[in-house]
Amino acid sequence: MYTEYLDLDTRAGQKVKVWPVPYEATASFAKGARAGPQAILQASYEIETWDEKLGADLADLAHFQSIPFFSAPVSGPEDCYRKMLDYLRGHCDPSSDFLLTLGGEHSVALAPIAFYREAFPDLAVLQVDAHADLRDSFQNSPYSHACVMARVRELGIPVVQLGVRSLCREESEVISRDAGPDQFVSFAWDVKAPEATAAQVRAFLGARPLYITFDADGLDPSIMPGTGTPEPGGLGYGWLADFWPHVFGDARLVGLDFCELAPQPAAGVVSESVAVKCINKILLSAFLARGVED
């Protein structure tokens, strides 16, 4: 049983509270996301924190402290959302605590987003995902993983969606209707060069506080086979590695989740290693952009 992220013996920089949430109830295709947090924690022990390309070490800018694995109720995703939010309100401070939430299915992203929204009324969310997750309801549940961004939009939160390439007619109509100051979608086939896309996103975000929700299936399944609903034509690691260092201009990252990793032993440890690399690159890029005040 692994409980810590990266297992650093230093205590530098930003404290990141790591919250494993092994919740899986509404997965609609392949299962396994409940094993995601444990796989990510285990893989994190094997990944270098020095980033040669950025010339910086995550261990100099952040340290990690796990909070207990969330024990999810069996009474469905809405109840899970409410209990997650209750836990956060009782144990964390959204104005000062940086949370790294490890899913679990993508529905677990809603509670930390709603939690940060309480402290930051101008919060924006950037979602990396193959799916728009904008259905009003799915399989009779408005709190399904397929609806998480519809609930986020209902909170009045502007969203950036990156890598979307699988959606239903209803979601397509929502995107067409809402495109503008509150919704920016970069479909996988429209993604420009990393710096150009980052400039678009920076312009959209302005100086808003930013939360990132990362669904593993936003990545191409060739590098992320371990996910429940893989979609071809996804984002590559190299593209994202060049994107993150340019996206945090005035936007300050307040929290992050990584969801929908469903480890596949037949694929070795590729998926969980890629997940950790993605998390570390985001954190390093965001904390470097803040400068030294932390």
Interacting residue ranges for Mn ion, rule: CB under 5 A:
129-131, 215, 217
**CB of 97 or CB of 231, closer to Mn ion:** 231
Report, in Å, the least distance between residue 217 CB and Mn ion: 4
β-strand partners of 180: 183
Which is nearest to 244 in space by CA: 202, 286, 274, 211? 286
Report, in Å, the least distance between residue 130 CB and Mn ion: 5
**CB of 24 or CB of 129, closer to Mn ion:** 129
Structure tokens at 276: 């950790």
What would you report as the CA-atom Rg of the chain, rounded to the nearest whole angstrom? Answer: 17
Structure tokens at 256: 């992050």
Report, in Å, the least distance between residue 127 CB and Mn ion: 9
> Quick check: 67 and 84 in contact, CB under 8 A?
no
Question: Distance (Å, rounded) from C-alpha 72 to C-alpha 219?
Answer: 27
Q: How far is CA 262 from CA 29, 35, 148, 225, 227, in A?
A: 11, 6, 18, 9, 5
Question: Distance (Å, rounded) from C-alpha 285 to C-alpha 46?
Answer: 20
Structure tokens at 115: 């939690």
**CB of 59 or CB of 167, closer to Mn ion:** 167
**CB of 63 or CB of 131, closer to Mn ion:** 131
Report, in Å, the least distance between residue 240 CB and Mn ion: 15
Count of alpha carbons within 13 angstroms of residue 223, beta-carbon side: 18
Report, in Å, the least distance between residue 207 CB and Mn ion: 29
**CB of 51 or CB of 217, closer to Mn ion:** 217
**CB of 97 or CB of 105, closer to Mn ion:** 105
Report, in Å, the least distance between residue 283 CB and Mn ion: 21
Q: Which residue is nearest to Mn ion (CB)?
A: 131
